[in-house]
Amino acid sequence: MLVQRFAALLLLTFACGPAAFAAPADAPVKIVVLGDSISAGFVLPVQDALPAKLAGALKAKGVAATIANAGVSGDTASGGLERLDWSVPDGTDAVIVELGANDALRGIDPKVTKQALDSILRQLEQRHIAVMLAGMRAPRNMGAEYVKAFDAIYPALASTHNVVFYPFILDGVAADPKLNQRDVMHPNAEGVDVIVARLLPKVEDLIARVRSSRGS
């Protein structure tokens, strides 16, 4: 009896393909935030980290979604690429890619950062996972040439990949002492609230893409 059921399952798989097992259109969208300390919530309580507050904001709007925090403090774009497979498990519907701040702080060649991010986006596309790319800007004290090369990474990637694009993850928060911790680099809880409020419409666009693909 068990063998017969297994054979029937195999037949269904080959006859209908993976789409036969696709999640229902109204099932919660599974999102992973692949990032660095901005996502990880450096020294903040878990509930104040960006993924947790973003999940709360979506819930408050009645949007069914789960958000996993795959932020690692100190991580670079290359580090995110190295851990991509286990940070983004099978069954993930969408990924918010938030990487690059540490590359800029360390003065890593923008070509290296761009190549790593490009590889992340390509691999996620191959897995049919919807993506939001959250941009970063280099510190202005890195020099005009470096700033120009680094800041150009994200718009260039957004123009060549089918992603939801949010140009600057720290928009409205960067360098504001009231919204950052003492290092004026990592958002405090109030700063995370600002990020979430500004990011939310783009996240809703990302979720809409997932739901649209489920219905196609």
Candidates 75, 78, 87, 186; catalytic one:
186
Candidates 26, 128, 183, 216; catalytic one:
183
Candidates 36, 37, 78, 87; catalytic one:
37
Residue 145 contacts residue 106 (beta carbons within 8 Å): no
**Known catalytic residue at 183:** yes
Residue 164 contacts residue 205 (beta carbons within 8 Å): yes
**Known catalytic residue at 186:** yes
The three-state (H, E, C) secondary structure of the chain, written as one string: CHHHHHHHHHHHHHHHCHHHHCCCCCCCEEEEEEECHHHHCCCCCHHHCHHHHHHHHHHHCCCCEEEEEEECCCCCHHHHHHCHHHHCCCCCCEEEEECCHHHHHHCCCHHHHHHHHHHHHHHHHHCCCEEEEECCCCCHHHCHHHHHHHHCHHHHHHHHCCCEEECCCCCCCCCCHHHECCCCCCECHHHHHHHHHHHHHHHHHHHHHHHHHHHC
Cα–chain-centroid distance for residue 79?
Answer: 14
Q: What residues are labeled active site?
A: 37, 183, 186
